[in-house]
Amino acid sequence: VDADGTRVFDLTAGPGDSDLGHGASTRTWGYNGAYLGPTLRAQKSQKVKVNVHNRLNEPTTVHWHGMHLPAKVDGGPHHPIPVGGDYQAAWTVDQPAATLWYHPHPSDLTERQVYRGLAGMFLIDENEENEEDLPHEYGVDDIPVIVQDKNFDGGQLSMSDRFLSDVGILGDEILVNGTPGPFLDVRTSLVRLRLLNASTARVYDFTMSDGRPMQLVGTDGGLLEAPYATSSVRLSVGERAEVVVALRPGERVELRTAPTGLGRFQGGRDAFDVLQLRAGGQITQKTLPPTLTSIEKLDPSQAAQRRTFTFQGREINDDRMDMDRVDAVVVKDTVEVWSVANGHGTPHSFHIHDVQFQVLSVDGRKPEFRSWKDTLFLEPRKRYEIIARFADYADPTTAYMFHCHVLRHEDEGMMGQFVVV
Ligand code: C2O
Ligand code: CU
Ligand code: CU
């Protein structure tokens, strides 16, 4: 933290050697280390400044996924950091407590850069009473769980696309925070898992091995109004969920993924063990607060604009990304309703920069609760209605992106631009 209270971070993207649990050294990429990056953390209302250094052998950018910030520091493909170059992004955090993340976003190279290891979490804290009542001791009862699928070939991280799946690289092994087959010693009766799907294409249906419910307490952009008990949480690429799992003394239970039913879009394997939880004989009793926060219900009758986006092939509304074409001009501080449809049989994952949105309907049905989202799984042939407020930052000359977060699709141009004026 510097003199005026700004939280300053340094991130150096570069190559390194790690074994990723395979007993042989393999070449990976990371921020400030060989694989993944540090968890960045800031308070709501705090100023942050991140100095990024590119020590890779190709251009990169760093995008703050889920962050509400000016387009100039969004880290999209318009502002590549050249080989050996530096970049600085500064903004004031202005959104609720949430589990966000950061990752590269250069033209054409995003899938391979993330796959090699460039990604990290960015947590926002708000110090509200109910947030304080959730498990919040980082690494003890509040655990980052970055889930990625990988392929190894003779101990070496393999980039091969062996399933020829139409969604890019799919791995047949799971790493959690860069480690295969991890376990966690649990010392409290409630443990909060901050799940991030930082894979390039794979979709996960998280469950507990004995079917016990998890309490969903947060989605991409913040906490729910109240915990929601569920036995399964689906996360497509880029999505996050915070769940709280209850354990009794001495218990062992596995966080797993169950078959998604997405067939060939998941490669050869579609169910994995993810993280074993091992409770000690003596654990501290905790209780979950009955309410967590309050969420303003955005009102579709206030919408200044309605738009429709259809995802099909590698196109959104029959167009691929064109840096010289702006697809939507949004008026600052207005609310818009976007109808987003998946027009065919391939799964996609819809993401908007800058804003957190609420889902109004899925194929005409209202969801069971409101929550803040920035990324949404588009099941084949379904239509979703979402609502967002495009607040605070106008810049007619710098675009934000919306795109498919299946990274191969993004690299192939399944992306559009909007400006806020
Ligand atoms: Cu997580 Cu435009 O990205
Ligand atoms: Cu993003
Ligand atoms: Cu897609």
Domain map (residue ranges) of the chain: 7-125, 132-284, 300-420
Structure tokens at 15: 């190559």
The token pair at 96 is 């609720």
Ligand nearest to the CA of 407: 3
Whether the per-residue pLDDT at 132 is higher than 80: the answer is no
Q: pLDDT tens for residues 197-239?
A: 999 999 999 999 999 999 999 999 999 999 999 999 999 999 9
The edge-to-edge listing of strands for the beta sheet with 183-188 is 183-188, 272-284, 252-258, 204-208, 233-235
Taking CA atoms, 212 is separated from 15, 259, 285, in Å, by 41, 17, 18
**Cβ neighbours, 10 Å, residue 198:** 25
Q: What topology does CATH give the domain 132-284?
A: Immunoglobulin-like (2.60.40)
Terminus-to-terminus CA distance in the chain, angstroms? 33
Reading the block at residue 408, the tokens are: 């191969």
- For 1, the token pair is 């933290």
Q: Is 409 a pocket residue for ligand 1 (Cβ < 6 Å)?
A: no
Residue 239's alpha-carbon distances to 66, 266, 279, 404, in angstroms, are 10, 17, 28, 12
Tell whether ligand 1 has an atom less than 6 A from the beta carbon of residue 66.
no
**Angle at Cα 389 formed by Cα 383 and Cα 395, nearest 5°?**
115
Give backbone dihedrals phi and psi of 248, rounded to 5 degrees, phi first.
-100, 160
Q: From the CB of residue 43, how many other CB atoms can be counted at a distance below 10 Å?
A: 15
Backbone CA torsion sign across 220, 223, 227, 228: negative
Are 342 and 381 spatial neighbours (Cβ–Cβ below 8 Å)? yes
Residue 166 DSSP code: S
Give the burial class of 156: count Cβ atoms within 10 A of its Cβ; 0-12 exposed, 13-18 middle, 19 or more buried: middle
Strand partners for 185? 278
pLDDT of residue 418: 98
Q: What is the CATH number of domain 300-420?
A: 2.60.40.420
The answer to whether 319 and 325 are in contact (CB under 8 A) is yes
Instruction: Give the number of whichever ligand sits closest to the CA of residue 410.
Output: 3
Domains 132-284 and 300-420 share a fold: yes
> How buried is 113 (Cβ within 10 angstroms: 0-12 exposed, 13-18 middle, 19+ buried)?
buried
Rounded to two decimals, the ipTM of the complex is: 0.99
Can you tell me the mean pLDDT for 175-198? 97
Please name which of 27, 102, 15, 106 lies closest in space to residue 59, comparing C-alpha atoms: 106
**Is the pLDDT confidence value at 162 over 80?**
no
- Domain 7-125 class, CATH top level: mainly beta
**Whether residue 353 has its Cβ less than 6 Å from ligand 1:** yes
Distance in angstroms (rounded) separating the CA atoms of residues 103 and 282: 39
What local confidence, expressed as pLDDT, does residue 4 receive? 84
Q: What's the pLDDT score for residue 179?
A: 96
| Residues sharing a CB contact under 8 Å with residue 132, sequence separation 6 or more, in sequence order | none
Does the Cβ of 403 fall within 6 Å of ligand 1? yes
Q: Report the C-alpha gap between 305 and 341 in whole angstroms.
A: 17
Q: What is the pLDDT of residue 163?
A: 75
Least confident of 97-106, 123-132, 185-194, 370-379: 123-132
Q: Where are the alpha helices (DSSP H) in 28-161?
A: 110-116, 129-133
Atom 3 of ligand 1: nearest residue by CA position: 65
Check residue 129 and give its pLDDT: 73
Residue 102 CA to ligand 3 center (angstroms) comes to: 20
Indicate whether residue 67 lines ligand 1 (CB < 6 A): no
Give the pLDDT confidence of 288-334 residue by residue, as tens digits: 999 999 999 999 999 999 999 999 999 999 999 999 999 999 999 99
Is the Cβ–Cβ distance between 353 and 402 less than 8 Å?
yes
* Distance from residue 163's CA to the centre of ligand 1 (Å): 24
63 lines ligand 1 (CB under 6 A): yes
Q: How many residues does the chain have?
A: 421
In short, whether 351's Cβ falls inside 6 Å of ligand 1 is yes
Quote the ligand 2 centre to 188 CA distance (angstroms): 34
Pairing of strands 415-420, 328-330: parallel
How far, in Å, from the CA of 244 to the mean position of ligand 1? 26
Residue 410, classed as helix, strand or coil, is: helix
Is the pLDDT reported for residue 266 higher than 80? Answer: yes
Nearest Cα residue to 97 out of 66, 140, 141, 63: 66
Q: Assess contact for 73 and 91: CB atoms under 8 A.
A: yes
